[in-house]
Structure 1
Amino acid sequence: MRKKVFLWNMDNFSMDTKPEEHTNFITDIRFRPNSTQLATSSSDGTVRLWNAAERTGALQNFLGHSSHVTSVDFHPKLTEILCSCDDNGEIRFWTVGQNAASRVSRVKQGGTGRVRFQPRIGKLLAVAAGNTVNMIDIDTDTSLHSQAKVHTSEVNCICWDETGEYLASASQESVKVWSVASGQCIHELRSHGNQYQSCIFHPRYPKVLIVGGYQTVELWSVSDNQRNVVAAHEGLIAALAHSPLTGSIASASHDRWVKLWK
């Protein structure tokens, strides 16, 4: 079932699904800003565009990657632009309605796990590759800071704060918060064996980072380094998402549950 898109209506909590067109696991899913459209990346080497408001199949299938596609994201302002990456370290930029990639680049660190555009302006693209994190200037295709940020194990998740001034990265052993201005790590939270998998900034409290690990969610106040641990699932919490409109938090776990938190 991980090849299929499930849509959960937050007004009436009804569930809908899209046709199973991917032939391998879906690795990432992102909504197009101010739209009912969404994109999925898959281990089948493709990216697909869907409309959540219509009971139809994929609107477009983006082909070109030669390996497993691990992540996808839309530009926050130029919303017809989306970006995808694969486990060979290739990054492709696409335009909705066009079949060929508009640009292809490659990261030196190898297989790429996640890509996330800087919110609001989209000038930077955060790229997680292996145990490194880079901030790429998409106009010049160069790293904002020459030295890649490093964890001691593979980076599982990256996320921006709402302002785009800070970037958080999570690996099993720690979560780090990086300053865009300096490129330096300014806060760090050690997992103490909790196997961190996911992270996201709180939609209402910008100085609070929500971190998903094994069975628990941690609310980490980065300003005073205090954390509150909440029992949440019975497995690894693989993904977190939030609604800026309602302040709700969603968590998805290997225990096959998706939960909504207020």
Structure 2
Amino acid sequence: MDRFVDDGSLEDSFESFLSDDDADPRGRVARRSDVSSGFTFSEVGVIPASSSEVECCHFSADGKTLATGGHDRNAVLWCTEPLAVKSTLEEHSQWITDVRFSPSMSRLATSSADKTVRVWDVDNPGYSLRTFTGHSTTVMSLDFHPAKEDLLCSCDSNSEIRYWSFKNGCCVGVSRGGATQMRFQPRLGRMLAAAGDTLVSIIDVETACCTLKLLGHKNLVNSLCWDSSGEYLASVSDDSVRVWAVGSSSKGECLYELPCSGNKFQTCVFHPTYPSLLVIGCYETLELWNMSENKTMTLHAHDKLVSSLAASSSTGMVASASHDKCVKLWK
């Protein structure tokens, strides 16, 4: 595998990294026509986001607001242009594990080690609109359904998944399978991907039944992310990253695998402009992986672990959150 390191002269490296014959031989995930030789990826902003470790970040649908959260127990909303604090959400009593914007409404959801899920009005975030209780341990992750505005899900460290109705303010279903992270399929929301132990479960949202189990990771799956089409899913353990075909006509085939050859992997996100490119967060570095060419490029990004990544298709930006207390913006 070709590997490039940030040596101060990245222009030629990037051109080689996204070469003219960059095409998926199976016609999946991306084609060279989507990738320009003018590709760049550089730091465009730094946010001193917290007095403690930052664990999570997420862009609003329009990319104009970034939410962050972590060990200081606060979620913070940031304007991305110009970079400035919009508001601070202070009701959780323990560290915040995940933050997610609704794709269709002006709402933000936060999960915490205090066993609760809270939902906020982004335009009037003085207090939470809803507080959901019922989990018996740390709530590790949560997400809004992309089409059903009333529905959101959360999972805890005991692998319990809870389905919540915002309108009714109550739990409307319980299943199992997610212990570290869970994400709804974009746009349609027919599937819920849930990471637990060394596997990823694909759950039918209508029936709450597991329809696929993605097996192959040897270590705990730390995080996962969908591509924008909802046809492909990436999953990350500290020793490997895998990309799966999980769309309506797929059976969970592993299309690509990147073994760890240095820094342990922690998180990932599909690049918002180049769908054949996966951005992987590691200890101090970002790994750019051109899946169809099987090439990687390593960039120094933070002084400690990169704990979370987010991408905005509206602005083309990627955000990286870190235990070094900062969040950086890349484009």
TM-score under structure 2 normalisation?
A: 0.75
CA distance in 2, matches of 1:136, 1:60: 25
Following TM superposition, the consecutive aligned residue runs of length 4 or more in structure 1 with deviations greater than 4 angstroms are: none
Asked if 2 retains the 8 angstrom alpha-carbon contact of 1:173 and 1:193, the reply is no
Q: Secondary structure at the match of 1:28?
A: strand
Q: Secondary structure at the match of 1:102?
A: strand
Q: Which amino acid aligns with 2:277?
A: V
Aligned Cα root-mean-square deviation (Å): 1.3
- C-alpha deviation, 1:40, in angstroms: 0.4
Asked if 2 retains the 8 angstrom alpha-carbon contact of 1:18 and 1:57, the reply is no
CA distance in 2, matches of 1:132, 1:150: 7
Q: Which amino acid aligns with 1:194?
A: N
Is the aligned partner of 1:210 residue 2:279?
Answer: yes
**1:71-90 pair list within 5 angstroms:** 71-90=141-160
Is the aligned partner of 1:119 residue 2:186?
Answer: yes
Structure 2 match to 1:183: 252
Unaligned runs of 5+ in 1: none
Structure with higher Rg: it is 2
Asked if 2 retains the 8 angstrom alpha-carbon contact of 1:243 and 1:249, the reply is yes
CA distance in 2, matches of 1:173, 1:97: 41
- C-alpha deviation, 1:125, in angstroms: 0.3
What are the superposed Cα offsets for residues 113-137 of structure 1, whole Å, 9 maximum, x if unpaired?
A: 1110000100000000011111111
Structure 1 match to 2:99: 29
**CA 1:2–1:150 in 2, change beyond 3 Å: closer, same or farther?**
farther
Asked if 1 retains the 8 angstrom alpha-carbon contact of 2:277 and 2:289, the reply is yes
Shifted more, 207-216 versus 132-141: the winner is 132-141
**CA 1:204–1:19 in 2, change beyond 3 Å: closer, same or farther?**
closer
CA distance in 2, matches of 1:83, 1:165: 20
Unaligned runs of 5+ in 2: 1-70
Pick from 240, 253, 258 the counterpart of residue 322 of structure 2. Answer: 253
What are the superposed Cα offsets for residues 161-188 of structure 1, whole Å, 9 maximum, x if unpaired?
A: 1111111001111100011112121100
CA distance in 1, matches of 2:106, 2:318: 19
Structure 2 match to 1:11: 81
Q: Secondary structure at the match of 2:279?
A: strand
Asked if 1 retains the 8 angstrom alpha-carbon contact of 2:184 and 2:193, the reply is yes
**1:70-109 pair list within 5 angstroms:** 70-107=140-177
Asked if 1 retains the 8 angstrom alpha-carbon contact of 2:104 and 2:146, the reply is no
Q: Which amino acid aligns with 1:98?
A: N
Structure 2 match to 1:134: 201
Q: Which amino acid aligns with 2:308?
A: A
Structure 2 match to 1:244: 313
Q: Secondary structure at the match of 2:180?
A: strand
Q: Which amino acid aligns with 2:245?
A: S
CA distance in 2, matches of 1:72, 1:162: 18
Q: Which amino acid aligns with 1:156?
A: N
Pick from 121, 137, 145 the counterpart of residue 51 of structure 1. Answer: 121
- C-alpha deviation, 1:18, in angstroms: 2.7
What are the superposed Cα offsets for residues 205-248 of structure 1, whole Å, 9 maximum, x if unpaired?
A: 11111101011111111111011111111111000001110101
CA distance in 2, matches of 1:101, 1:55: 23
Q: Which amino acid aligns with 2:309?
A: L
TM-score under structure 1 normalisation?
A: 0.95
CA distance in 1, matches of 2:277, 2:125: 38
- C-alpha deviation, 1:55, in angstroms: 4.3
Q: Secondary structure at the match of 1:101?
A: strand
Q: Which amino acid aligns with 2:132?
A: F
